[in-house]
Chain A
């Protein structure tokens, strides 16, 4: 049976490749080192597939169709944004496992939308560029949650989707070793009033809740509270909550945190403590 061997929470800030030299050098080093550390740990875990949980930014999905949750079960490439300074290229999927996750969800009440051919945006492309491409042979299953365009996916549902992903992987007859990345956050205001603000105190509160495995507390944070304290970009902790669903009862170890004004974001990294 396939196994989930690790989980990580990380930012997907496009500024990392748009303006890599704009920030304080010491903070910059911390952040790029954190991605390198994740890459090394995923290598050591001998993982062969990563499920990257991100959210579209009203980019791929426009006013004509906003999926609540979507999984890519076929061809993947990216990034879709030309300004990321990342050359668009193919991203190898694990289509068989992705399809099994979808089918399992259908059996369990998760009505996935799906993409047969997806060009990912930065929410998958940045983690891919910094912590997937760096691990030879690692295949990518992109998952998109609607954490951006209201009416939003509920945080409890995000967690349930993660639980279903976990059950699907553990029931897959293949021998895959899977890691899960929850991406985005923490506080940042994306195009909205307040853009440029970072709320370090709120970020620390969020990290503390993840580190204790306080999922009910995180789900209990209303979208209004998150918007007020962490900005519209902070709603991406739904992606993190989803990732935690694949690790019932788990806590996390915070790896790093930096508030980076030049990149307009409070950026946190954590590793899931695997429950035996």
Chain B
């Protein structure tokens, strides 16, 4: 898991509306600038919040980036996502 690269990608989004717009509109293009593997890119594209947190990504920067993408009224949705354990395929 490229935690540092993911946190960098998220931090830029959280601080820069232009980067947030890029991730919102064309995640593939934005994420290819970072050293991420295919699975990591998928997690971020799908905003698999709990799976990302479980892998050790800092939750504050994740939440701030999620808010930058989804708007300030995202709190309930974020809380639900982060508190829902990832389903393990049987």
Chain A interface residues toward B at CB < 8 A? 18, 57-59, 62-64, 83, 148-149, 190-196, 232, 264
Contacts and interface: CB of A to CB of B under 8 A. Distances in A.
B60 A83 contact: no
Nearest to A190: B60
B87 interface: no
Contacts of B61: 58, 62
A57 B60 CA distance: 7
Given A83-B72, A149-B58, A232-B60, A63 B50 contact: no
Helix, strand, loop or mixed for chain B's interface?
Answer: helix
A226 to B, nearest CB: 15
Contacts of B14: 58-59
Contacts of B53: 191-193
B64 A58 contact: yes
Interface residues of B, number: 23
A18 B72 contact: yes
Contact of B62 (A18, A191, A194): A191
B59 A232 contact: yes
A62 B11 contact: yes
Interface in B27-70: 50, 53-54, 58-64, 67
Given A57-B64, A58-B64, A148-B60, A193 B11 contact: no
Contacts of A18: 72
B65 to A, nearest CB: 10
Given A57-B64, A62-B7, 8 more contacts: A18-B72, A57-B60, A58-B60, A62-B8, A63-B4, A193-B50, A196-B79, A264-B79
Contacts of B12: 62
A190 B59 contact: yes
